Amino acid sequence: MDTTLRGVGVSHGVAIGEVRHMGTAVLEPPAKQIAAGEAAREQGRARQAVDAVAADLTARGNLAGGEAQAVLEAQAMMAQDPELMADVERRIAVGSTAERAVYDAFASYRELLAGAGEYLAGRVADLDDVRNRIVARLLGVPMPGVPDSDRPYVLVARDLAPADTALLDPALVLGFVTEEGGPTSHSAILARALGVPAVVALPGAGELAEGTTVAVDGSTGEVFVNPSVGKKAQMESAAAERKAALAASTGPGATADGHKMPLLANVGGPADVPAAVEAGAEGVGLFRTEFLFLDDSKNAPSEDKQVEAYRQVLEAFPEGRVVVRVLDAGADKPLEFLTPADEPNPALGVRGLRTLLDHPDVLRTQLTALARAAEGLPVHLEVMAPMVADRADAKAFADACREAGLRAKFGAMVEIPSAALRARSILQEVEFLSLGTNDLAQYTFAADRQVGAVSRLQDPWQPALLDLVALSAEAAKAEGKSCGVCGEAASDPLLACVLTGLGVTSLSMGAASLPYVRATLAKYTLAQCERAAAAARAADSAAEARGAAQAVLSGE
């Protein structure tokens, strides 16, 4: 009889195969002392290893492109952090080996992150991965990472570092399961971009024996251990039906009774555009511009460089809608020339629009670049600000857009509960709202999106989060303006129906999710979606909300 485990499904699809575990982390180096005359040589070894790891992470990012590139370049900057390197060299100067100095310096920094609030604590997994890669290079042992195998398998790990997730080969890695992580963690986002079925936050995942056969349902979060022949056949049949439905679903997004619901793509740069176009995206609902700024944490990219990158994306959607988010720096995306280094809790400090208003020259250059990039193109450009808290924020952003001569719609992201509660006030200054459900959940429930222990509070099915979505959508409707969703919530086909029923006017997601959402929306009428939304909001938990919506849509 098969055993059923339940985690959080974060990437659609079914994977059936044998378990292979991620390579183990590097062992702690011995605490031996070096002779005084060896310090310079050990410091040189440490610098070479750090530079090599940073170069490897950057190269992996260049190969992966898109969102993965931005994540990996951020890790490369972490490896070369000057304060960390100075600490390593100080430890070597008093007798540590290069590998021990790296291990201890990263451990010290790790403690600072872990104690700096849940938002920054979510960066600990990335920091550990960088440390392990540097220490492995110094020790001359294989890098921790994806196992070698000539047969397809299901990858199981405590957590997956972005460097590993970004370059997974879908021909070999049928799916993956992790013990840590959440629905909006880096690994989850990259899994959706790759189209690899994935389940995260699965208790006891590490105890699955090597070679055990498992069946992974990336939609429900279920993992069946040693599934029966009947269970395998059932899951394979359901997967085949889903694939056929996806192939048959084309054209603009709409409900069964013709209510239009534009389906847009989230992109991190030009590299993500081909997949979005192939998936039939009707435009871009979230163009993250951070990738340009992460190339050099000490200097902003030139206006000309920005124009070139923006125009590549705008040209891909003639007559379509492209919504650009201006630079969202701060918190887990620090930039030396912008963000303070000594904030006690950066997630609640100067980030997003607050950072840009403190550096108006950076905002002005970006807005001017967007205006130039759109010149002569028929695209419908819309520009929005991240982390808008109130009407004053919205006005400051709209004023900056006008001063830059930007001919576009100006909008505000709803990521802070105050913005949802005062949406009508904010809409007096801007022309549209866009709900970033990842951060909105994080700030509503005080639950870091990277921490697996609080993943239930990051579930976009939480009724309190649905209430805030409804408030925003109702405010936009009352003002005759639009209100889209660009957070990962839109990538859940069932939740997409509920969001439609709540009154949102567009849905934006990773390209891999577009066919699933399009096919599911086409099965139900707007009235059914509205009833499902009402049932979900009446529930008391995320699980009950999903169940209630499912019951309504299935006619139970």
Residues recognised as catalytic = 186, 486
Helix (H, G, I), strand (E, B) or coil at 384: strand
Contact 418, 425 (CB under 8 A): no
Distance, CA of 88 to CA of 199 (rounded, Å): 37
Helix (H, G, I), strand (E, B) or coil at 140: coil
Encoded tokens for 476 = 């936009």
According to DSSP, residue 333 is labeled: B
Distance, CA of 194 to CA of 177 (rounded, Å): 15
Distance, CA of 261 to CA of 443 (rounded, Å): 27
Which H helix or E strand runs over 414? strand 409-414
Encoded tokens for 367 = 């807005």
Contact 279, 515 (CB under 8 A): yes
Q: Kindly provide the b/e burial profile for residues 324-361, where b requires at least 16 CB atoms within 10 angstroms of the residue's own CB.
A: bbbbbbbbbbbbeebbeeebeebbebbbbbbbbbebee
Strands of 105-201 (E only): list them: 153-157, 173-178, 198-200
Long-range CB contact pairs, 67-70, < 8 A, 24+: 67/189, 67/190, 67/193, 67/268, 67/272, 67/288, 67/291, 68/162, 68/165, 68/166, 68/190, 68/193, 69/268, 69/269, 69/271, 69/291, 70/268, 70/269, 70/288, 70/290, 70/291, 70/294
Encoded tokens for 341 = 């280094």
Hey, how many other C-beta atoms are within 10 angstroms of the C-beta on 21? 17
Residue 225 pairs in a beta bridge with: 3, 214
Helix (H, G, I), strand (E, B) or coil at 482: strand
Strand order through the sheet with 14-21: 3-6, 222-225, 213-217, 14-21, 153-157, 173-178, 198-200, 8-11
Please choose, from the candidates 361, 334, 360, the residue with its C-alpha nearest in 3D space to the C-alpha of residue 349: 334
Angle between helices 526-537 and 463-479 (to 10 degrees): 130
Strands of 12-118 (E only): list them: 14-21
Angle between helices 82-93 and 39-64 (to 10 degrees): 150
Q: Where are the alpha helices (DSSP H) in 390-433?
A: 391-403, 417-421, 423-426
Contact 482, 476 (CB under 8 A): yes
Contact 196, 13 (CB under 8 A): yes
Name the residue with tokens 């992974």.
216
According to DSSP, residue 314 is labeled: H
